[in-house]
Chain A
């Protein structure tokens, strides 16, 4: 399956249009979401309330009294024809420091045991490549990133934690993420970063953007506390 030959349109109520490009997490599909998000924001102004780009779909929240659904669909289909020509900004690489293991990464040992490798190897693998940010979601500034090296693909926790500390670096299936705020969560926590991912007073408020790249590097507990 992967990228659909024909894009699917679903109504999400009377003012939501969900545009679905594929049925898996892939760079090709995600890039299409990004291009469509940028183009819709750029080319349709009147009647657009919100554009929510995610892994494989784009949700457009619109005002049906200003922009009837049939008109919106027509314009989206027209934009899709020329989608390849929509330029994407050069991806920006952000290096994120993290302390791994111990109280900061309570699941590091468990992940290592699951893969029958050493905790050091888990850290080395996690820091070994730059990850693509597929989307920011779940909470303000939370980056969903991939793909993890094959050897690190790990299921979610069976029982989610009620409290995951802010800054926790986590993995689940082929993805890695950072809890930008304290929250409940079911991902495996392997480390923590002191970097502030979200600041409501900053423009843009999120440090990381969809389509950009992140590479982790290891720091000591002392450096975290600084």
Chain B
């Protein structure tokens, strides 16, 4: 039996997990959640492994109806989620009963929310992953965005003991209008003039409407290339967060649906700041700030330690619930 019926798919809703790795030698990009931090927390809240498949909800319009009792959590961008018309608190677990309706009405801040269910959404795994790869047309639900009338299946997870569990408020990433993105220069920063690199790190860039799961095109000061290098390079591997600069000098942030490319990359956004890129929408502004690999590693370690600490909180709560049961 299905757990949800899609009443309205909204602008773009797809099934995503942490991505499809190990197949880039066949030209297969990772796909997967753009805001991996929010997806991981959403899963942990409902008692899942971090990598379970969730709904990645973009901007607004999704409406789904619960067909049975289920525990959910919503994290990520604030898209004003509601339960039967009433505002629904994000970053905590909720119990839905049959015929409850979850809707995402308007964008308050950010761009993408992650809806998890205990047990996770079930779709056929392709190359080890449930992630939807839109341009490749595989993964998720038939390789496509959700449609009206789709039935969504979940695997049975028991997480009633997680009810009321919250992610600590001061650990929830803030969503700002001007987003600072820390970058490590390169790999082709030497293809640009000093003036060009200064333009990147001292100006603010606006997110254009050309932004999707492949990349985010930015508008702002032109980044000057050295006159003795070519505009394109021999095609090479890409990583989400790479900031590529094509011939027109306007930066594009690469996301998870690309695998190789022949444009020069002036800098690459650090892992812990990628979730902020996922929350960008047209009209938002970004500023780039260079940091060292060592500092980036430190930030990543901090993030992972927080998640570890959160897992401990969850375990302790589960133990407490068990104890109550034993006492009874």
Interface set of A (CB-CB < 8 Å, partner B): 10-16, 18, 20, 23-25, 37, 49-59, 61, 64-65, 68-69, 135-142, 144, 180-181, 183, 198, 200-201, 204-206, 209-210
Cβ-defined contact, A16 with B268, below 8 A: yes
- Contact stretch, chosen from B24-32, B83-91, B148-156, B320-328: B24-32
Q: Which residues of B contact A51 (CB under 8 A)?
A: 24-25
Cβ of A3 to closest chain B Cβ, rounded Å = 13
Interface check B175, CB cutoff 8 A = no
Tell me the dominant secondary structure on chain B's binding face. Answer: mixed
The yes or no answer to B11 lying at the interface (CB within 8 A) is: no
Q: Can you list 27 A-B pairs with a CB-CB distance of less than 8 A? A: A10-B186, A11-B293, A12-B186, A12-B237, A13-B269, A14-B270, A15-B239, A23-B234, A25-B234, A52-B24, A52-B238, A54-B236, A55-B235, A55-B236, A59-B238, A61-B239, A69-B293, A136-B25, A136-B26, A137-B235, A139-B135, A139-B259, A140-B136, A141-B27, A181-B137, A183-B135, A204-B26
Q: Which B residues are CB-close (under 8 A) to A56?
A: 234, 236
Is there an interface contact between A141 and B26, defined as CB atoms closer than 8 Å? yes
Q: Which of B267-304 contact A (CB under 8 A)?
A: 268-271, 293, 296-297, 300-301, 304
Q: Determine if B260 is an interface residue (Cβ-Cβ < 8 Å).
A: yes
Interface size on B, residues (CB 8 A): 42
A contact face: mostly helix, strand, loop, or mixed: loop
Known: A18-B236, A18-B237, A140-B136. A200 touches B24 (CB 8 A): no
- Taken together as a complex, chains A and B put the C-alpha atoms of A64 and B304 apart, in Å, by 12
A-B contact sample (4 more), CB < 8 A, given A10-B186, A11-B187: A65-B300, A137-B27, A183-B135, A200-B127
B138 at the binding interface (Cβ < 8 Å): yes
Q: Is there contact, CB below 8 Å, between B260 and A200? A: no
A13 in contact with B24 (CB, 8 Å): no
